[in-house]
Amino acid sequence: MDRPGSDTVFAGSIPELYDSHLVPLIFEPYAADLAGRVAALGPSRVLETAAGTGAVTRALARVLPAPAELLATDLNQPMLDRAAAVGTERPVRWQQADAMRLPFGDAGFDVVACQFGVMFFPDKVRAFAEARRVLRRGGALVFNVWDRIEENEFADVVTAALAGLFPADPPRFMARTPHGYFDRDAIARDLGDAGFAAAPRFETVAARSRAPSARVPAVAYCQGTPLRNEIEARSGAGLAEATSACAAAIAERFGEGPVDGKIQAHIVIVQR
């Protein structure tokens, strides 16, 4: 049974584990990529939505020109608290905000950036329309989304292992949400429905996800994402057993030592 209501709950120990395990595992390569694309646009004012624990924020803080203003927002205050605690190399304004109801005036930003966040928006067209509203004419929305789960090996193995552990009610968070919004035609259609007249530009980028052991990605996915909420809501195997089962499945496929798996995402840029 799907539990989409838990898909956006990043609380408890999730923010810390997300930042310590998942960010270096899968987010950092794409954070550097996205920040570089934003900086190349020469913005003076950047809004980041769904900033999470600040992977892209930190990358942007390193590459944006000194006068540029950076405002980072997220729906989940615990995630922003973690991001602020880790800190950045330059001043950043942190603010809790819903991407579907941005508390900012019209046409105030040169770029709206979002790393792996749009998949979580319940109403994607509304979130895109809000991004368009706060962009200046000629500004750009720059974001990325994960490709299908089959192109992201650790997530795919974890999902299959949990399906074996909970056959009557397999946790489907990873396939449903992080890897559930990969269709380019659907994304382009949603952007058009949100008011973007220009055609979006897509680029598919593959990278590698590396960890010193199979247990690191197992903990990252099972305990550092809302997948944890689905596991803990089920009877039978507990969180520790589920994590161990996923670690065993990853080790069986990728080896007992350091592990290396494919990850793949779409980068999308659309102009206002």
Residue 106 CA to residue 130 CA, distance in Å, equals 9
pLDDT above 70 (res 226): yes
pLDDT above 70 (res 9): no
Output the six-digit token pair for 265. Answer: 């995402």
pLDDT above 60 (res 179): yes
First CA to last CA across the chain, in angstroms?
39
At residue 22 the predicted structure's pLDDT band, cuts being 50, 70 and 90, is confident
Output the six-digit token pair for 93. Answer: 């304004």
231 neighbors 159 (Cβ within 8 angstroms)? no
60, 113, 133, 141 from 202: Cα distances, Å = 21, 15, 22, 12
Average pLDDT over residues 247-256: 97
Q: Where are the beta strands (DSSP E) in 124-199?
A: 135-146
pLDDT (0 to 100) of residue 12:
59
pLDDT (0 to 100) of residue 13:
58
How confident is the prediction for the chain on average, in pLDDT? Answer: 93
Those residues whose C-beta lies under 8 Å from the C-beta of residue 141, and which sit 6 or more positions away, are: 111, 112, 113, 114, 128, 131, 132, 135, 191, 196, 268, 269, 270, 272
Those residues whose C-beta lies under 8 Å from the C-beta of residue 79, and which sit 6 or more positions away, are: 10, 15, 18, 51, 52, 53
| 72: helix, strand or coil | strand
Q: What is the pTM of this model?
A: 0.92
Closest Cα to residue 113, out of 95, 93, 99? 99
pLDDT above 80 (res 211): yes
* pLDDT top residue among 156 and 12: 156
Beta bridge partners of 115: 144
Average pLDDT over residues 226-251: 94
pLDDT above 90 (res 10): no
140 neighbors 111 (Cβ within 8 angstroms)? yes
137 neighbors 272 (Cβ within 8 angstroms)? yes
pLDDT (0 to 100) of residue 237:
87
User: What CATH class is the domain 4-271?
Assistant: alpha beta
pLDDT above 60 (res 153): yes
DSSP for 232-269 reads HTSSSS-HHHHHHHHHHHHHHHH-SSSEEEEEEEEEEE
pLDDT above 50 (res 70): yes
